[in-house]
Amino acid sequence: MTIPARVKLVEVGPRDGLQNEKQPVSAAVKIGLIERLQDAGLTTIEITSFVSPKWVPQMADAAQVLTGIRRKPGVRVSVLVPNIKGWEAMLATGAPVDEIEVFGSASEAFSQKNINCSIAESMERFAPVVQAARACGIFVRGAMSCTVGCPYEGEVPSHKVAYLAGLMKGIGVQHVGVADTIGVGTPRQVQAAIEAALTHYGIDDVSGHFHDTYGQALANTLAALELGVWQFDSSVAGLGGCPYAKGATGNVATEDVVYMLHGMGIDTDIDLDRLIDTGQFISDALGRKNGSRVAVAMLNKH
Ligand code: HMG
Ligand code: MG
């Protein structure tokens, strides 16, 4: 398998990156982040989640963020939607959305902790959302959490990933993201999870979503590239974590992935300098050390 010549990065910083943030972050800062990401060349941005504000208070301003952004032509906006209630809240904003993401888990325990239902029940909740979205021409992605490890169940065998991918396919989800939610996976494990997803989806409909808790995310990205995967989620400045995966840190930093890809001659259409400025903007706004190794190295040089 030859490594893809182009990679599409889906920026999840405004959603995955900020959802776990304890301090209040204003909608204006979130909007400023999203607009800077667009200007840096990101073409698909996961901007927020229509989830319960009791569960994830930081995403309570979903409608404000979705309606407040200045959209750059050609940029696709994506939001998380866990059920019909979230779908209706999204529709009520009247704002255009290009993609939604339902989110399930390969492990039962994480499904319960994250979305308060079993894997089977989650499909019943997602199915009408998927149907409604597709009827409006909105693209539907499905996040598959805990595809290598679960904070409650430990190691997750790949047959559970294949099973979940089959369920997602069965309800009409068009693309699946293979997530290492707690960032424990190593390259061969991640490849096994991707191969499990590939039993139900084609290579163009599978992406990688790697948290970097154990520092494996770039290696896992390369391992996925070796299988032909060309779409990845990443988070500017390495922001984030999941509120229901204690101790898990952010996604792989977008800057670090872009640096690696460009160094390998792989095209992304992302302007690394502008991206680094964007990562620094949000790190400053949060009063946080920048979580991108590449950004820190390059900023130290200047
Ligand atoms: P539930 O309690 O089972 O829902 O929560 P319910 O239908 O029984 O309703 C209970 C209450 O929640 C009701 O309000 C509903 O109106 C309200 P009450 O009558 O008590 O006042 N409610 C909602 N409010 C706003 N928006 C909604 C909504 N639905 C119900 N959509 C639910 C189920 C999924 C809503 C809840 O468990 C939840 O919000 N969980 C949040 C999960 C989350 O956002 N996790 C982080 C994102 S996933 C992630 O980070 C992983 C990923 O990055 C991939 C990876 O790394 O693994 C994608
Ligand atoms: Mg995640």
Q: What pLDDT score does 247 carry?
A: 78
Instruction: Give the residue numbers marked as catalytic.
Output: 242
Residue 112 CB–ligand 1 contact under 6 Å: no
Structure tokens at 299: 């900023």
Q: Kindly give the interhelix angle for 27-39 and 272-286, rounded to the nearest 10 degrees.
A: 170
Ligand 1 atom 44, closest CA: 51
pLDDT in tens, 266-286: 999 999 999 999 999 999 999
Ligand 1 pocket: which of 20, 46, 52, 211 to mutate (most atoms within 8 A of CB): 52
Query: Considering only CA atoms, which of 283, 248, 278, 191 is closest in space to residue 9?
Result: 278
Residue 241 CB–ligand 1 contact under 6 Å: no
Structural fold of domain 8-301: TIM Barrel (3.20.20)
Place of tokens 């060349």: 41
Residue 89 CB–ligand 1 contact under 6 Å: yes
Ligand 1 atom 31, closest CA: 86
* Side-chain half-sphere CA neighbours of 155 within 13 A: 8
Ligand 1 atom 22, closest CA: 52
Q: How many C-beta neighbours within 10 Å does residue 37 have? A: 27
**pLDDT (average), residues 203-211:** 98
Segment holding 189, helix H or strand E: helix 187-197
Between CA 54 and CA 292 the distance in angstroms is 30
**pLDDT (average), residues 236-242:** 87
Q: What pLDDT score does 302 carry?
A: 78
Residue 240 has pLDDT above 90, yes or no: no
Atom of ligand 1 nearest to the CA of 147: 57
pTM value > 0.95:
yes
Residue 38 CB–ligand 1 contact under 6 Å: no
Burial annotation 77-86 (CB, 10 A radius, 16+ → b, else e): bbbbbbbeeb
Q: Band the pLDDT of 177: cuts 50, 70, 90.
A: very high
Quick one: 5 exposed, middle or buried, by C-beta within 10 A (0-12, 13-18, 19+)? Answer: exposed
Q: Band the pLDDT of 133: cuts 50, 70, 90.
A: very high
Q: What pLDDT score does 85 carry?
A: 98
Ligand 1 atom 36, closest CA: 115
Q: Kindly give the interhelix angle for 158-170 and 187-197, rounded to the nearest 10 degrees.
A: 30
Place of tokens 């301003």: 61
296 Cα to the center of ligand 2, angstroms: 23
Are 257 and 211 in contact, with CB atoms under 8 Å apart?
A: no
Q: Band the pLDDT of 41: cuts 50, 70, 90.
A: very high
Residue 116 has pLDDT above 80, yes or no: yes
pLDDT in tens, 249-268: 899 999 999 999 999 999 99
* Side-chain half-sphere CA neighbours of 53 within 13 A: 5
Q: Residue ranges of the alpha helices (H) in 56-102? A: 62-68, 84-92
More reliable by pLDDT, 140 or 244: 140
**pLDDT (average), residues 198-217:** 98
Segment holding 175, helix H or strand E: strand 175-180
